Amino acid sequence: MKNYLLAAALLLAGTSAFAQKTKDKESIKSMCGCYEVKFEYAETFASDTAYKKAKNYKTGGLEWILADVDTDNKIVLQHLLIINDSTVIKHWRQDWLFQNTDFLNYKKGKSWKYATANAYAVKGQWTQKVYEVDDSPRYQGTATWVHLDGKNYWENIADAPLPRREYTKRSDYNVMKRTNRHEITSYGHVHEQDNAKVIRSESGDKILAWEKGMNTYKKVDDSKCQAAAKFWASHADYWRKVRGAWDEILARKTDITLLPKVNDKYLYEVLDEMEKDKNVTQAQLVKTLDAFISKEEITKK
């Protein structure tokens, strides 16, 4: 009898875990499609009464999100930004990995430190790894998808570089500690953020200010994003090679510090030029990426 009850309990647990993972994958892939997007940010609080809050930031656009990889334990969502209905820009990328144990944790500047997680600690969790437009690392975090009381979301806290809207304009802080909440809604999804703008130094972290972010993705007919679908059909092979080259480098499982420029050029500029060569190989791309990786030891703090 005891053996029967144990077998039944194990079967029930396995069935429950399978159902959870299936729902998780459905939620992640539901973020694909054509969206009208609103990006809104507002600083909300600062301990220093002399601090002058930044102006609210608001913009928007049309974005196509596609699942470029869809396997049992990995989903790659590529974002493509559409400007003026016809101009397409390869935007950011997010990889979702099931029960991932390898991480690059952001430190400051252009440095990330490699770390591993205990397999038990990430059991049932999905890691979101976010990458720049040139597919270089940005930030990563792991958490469990929640499907409860009519809510459907994933939430995590991760250190990250300054956002693109600020890194060329501000130098009064150097790390953004992001609370990211991705929630599936009836109209699409929302990327809600509660962010701490952190001054990181050898003496520790100091929060300069807090901000609230609301990125709202409202699904529209896919026909509005045909320009993006056409763009990816002709550019995907090259960017998959770039992604493969990065995968080779990240598989080394070491700390990484990136150089801002090489030969007075940014990485995205070099990669855009290399795409013109239809015969470019992944090995050549690895060599190019390696040139942007500093050989000096990563800063420890």
Count how many domains the chain has.
Answer: 1
In this structure, the number of other CB atoms found within 10 A of the CB of residue 30 comes to 14
Cα gap 80→93, rounded to integer Å: 9
- pLDDT for 239: 98
Cα gap 83→60, rounded to integer Å: 10
282 three-state secondary structure? helix
Domain membership of residue 144 (yes or no) is: yes
Tokens found for residue 262:
């090489």
- pLDDT for 86: 85
- pLDDT for 70: 98
Q: Which of 55, 53, 51, 28 is nearest to 40 (CA)?
A: 55
- pLDDT for 2: 60
Domain membership of residue 268 (yes or no) is: no
Domain membership of residue 250 (yes or no) is: no
Q: Which of 99, 103, 146 is nearest to 126 (CA)?
A: 99
Q: Please report which helix (H) or strand (E) contains residue 209, including its range.
A: strand 204-220
- pLDDT for 295: 87
Domain membership of residue 277 (yes or no) is: no
- pLDDT for 21: 97
Return the amino acid letter for 113.
K
Reduced 3-state DSSP string for 107-159: EECCEEEEEECCCCCCCCCEEEEEECCCCCEEEEEEECCEEECCEEEEEEEEE
Output phi, psi for 12, to 5 deg.
-65, -40
Residue 39's domain comprises: 2-232
Return the amino acid letter for 255.
D
**Across the 301 residues of the chain, what is the mean pLDDT of every consecutive 10-residue run?**
52 74 98 98 96 96 98 98 92 98 98 98 98 98 97 98 94 98 98 98 97 98 97 98 98 97 97 97 98 73 39
Domain membership of residue 185 (yes or no) is: yes
- Please name the residues in contact with 34: beta carbons below 8 A apart, sequence gap of 6 or more: 62, 63, 64, 219, 220, 221, 222, 223, 224, 225, 228
Domain membership of residue 97 (yes or no) is: yes
Full-prediction pTM beyond 0.95?
no
Domain membership of residue 253 (yes or no) is: no
- pLDDT for 301: 39
Cα gap 122→116, rounded to integer Å: 11
Domain membership of residue 178 (yes or no) is: yes
Number of residues that this document lists for the chain: 301
